Amino acid sequence: MNDKVLKGGLRLKNIFKSNSSSKPLVSIITVVLNNEKFLQECLDSLHIQKYKNYEHIIIDGGSTDNTIEIIRKNENKIDYWISENDSGIYDAFNKGMDLANGDYLGFLNSDDIYYSENTLDYVVDTFEKNLDLDFLYGPVKKHWGLLHGYQPWKIHFTWGFYTSHSTGFFIKNSSAKIVGKYNLKYKYSSDYDYFFRMIVKKKLKGIGLSKDKIFGVFRRGGFSSNVKFLDHFKEEIMIRIDNKQNKILIFLIIIYKSLRHFKKIIKEKL
């Protein structure tokens, strides 16, 4: 990692974007570390958006490849960027949220892209037509198909209740402050804890958009794809314990997921 602290963007030139009643500001947070391969494609998918009142915040974890050069090349379209060592992806998310000035905020990880030029239009239009809405999930393409819908009742026994954190999830900035920060205790699964607090503890209101309004493409091989099953699984269970879920239900989840995992291992060896 690079020990230097680097920063730049339009804000350092005293250029700040603002909210308005007709064009609310959308804050997009991109977290990156050594991703020269896909970063420009990610940035391009944001730059082509028809909805232009957005601010882009990039949090780099101290890249040592050509990532910083790519950021600097796009600096006139980036509102603020910083490159410094951090405590992982969720620490970077928290930094980005602290810097966000928009009415709405979303996450666009450097491996991923927005599917079309209409994504931010879908986001703003949905929030503006549903004023009591706190957050939303849009459809997202993965390598095996399309994730769409939002089924909050599933959160008590599975994390497969939503589409995607990157490209698919947007939340009102005011509502994000109610939920609080990502818990750095969880290195691999803090987004699950965040969503549990958001839905179950704070009872915020969310919806899922129909599958014809595709938000993004979630690339295979990103942060979550490289986490070992056991590391992820242990955190998933700890999140449920820390949030005081029913112990019998937690035990049943452990048995079920363990059996599924072993079945998968056996199948791959045959």
Predicted local confidence at residue 270, as pLDDT: 64
Give phi and psi for 189, each to the nearest 5: -135, 25
Predicted local confidence at residue 33, as pLDDT: 97
Torsion of CA 49, 53, 54, 55, to 10 degrees: 130
Furthest C-alpha separation in the chain: 62
pLDDT at 22 exceeding the cut of 70? yes
Q: pLDDT by residue (tens digit) across 222-258?
A: 555 557 888 989 999 999 999 999 999 999 999 988 8
Predicted local confidence at residue 261, as pLDDT: 81
pLDDT at 85 exceeding the cut of 60? yes
Q: pLDDT by residue (tens digit) across 115-173?
A: 999 999 999 999 999 999 999 999 999 888 999 999 999 999 999 999 999 999 999 99
User: What's the whole-number mean pLDDT along residues 72-87?
Assistant: 97
Predicted local confidence at residue 268, as pLDDT: 72
Q: Find out whether 120 and 54 touch, Cβ atoms under 8 Å.
A: yes
Residue 54, class by beta-carbon neighbours within 10 Å (0-12 exposed, 13-18 middle, 19+ buried)? buried
Q: Which of 47, 57, 19 is nearest to 172 (CA)?
A: 19
Predicted local confidence at residue 181, as pLDDT: 98
Give phi and psi for 106, each to the nearest 5: -145, 170
Predicted local confidence at residue 228, as pLDDT: 86
Predicted local confidence at residue 1, as pLDDT: 64
CB within 8 Å of 116: residues ≥ 6 apart? 214
* Domain 6-222, CATH class in plain words: alpha beta
At 108, which amino acid appears? L
Predicted local confidence at residue 251, as pLDDT: 93
pLDDT at 87 exceeding the cut of 90? yes
pTM for the whole structure: 0.93
Predicted local confidence at residue 150, as pLDDT: 96
Cα(98)–Cα(95) distance, rounded to whole angstroms?
5
The residue whose two tokens read 């949030």 is 243
Q: pLDDT by residue (tens digit) across 181-234?
A: 999 999 999 999 999 999 999 999 999 999 999 999 998 765 555 578 889 899
Q: Is the dihedral of CA 220, 200, 57, 7 positive or negative?
A: negative
Burial 134-152 (b: 16+ CB within 10 A, else e): bbbbbbbbeeeeebbebeb
177 confidence band (pLDDT: 50, 70, 90): very high
User: How would you classify residue 18: left for phi > 0, otherwise alpha for psi between -120 and 50, otherwise beta?
Assistant: beta
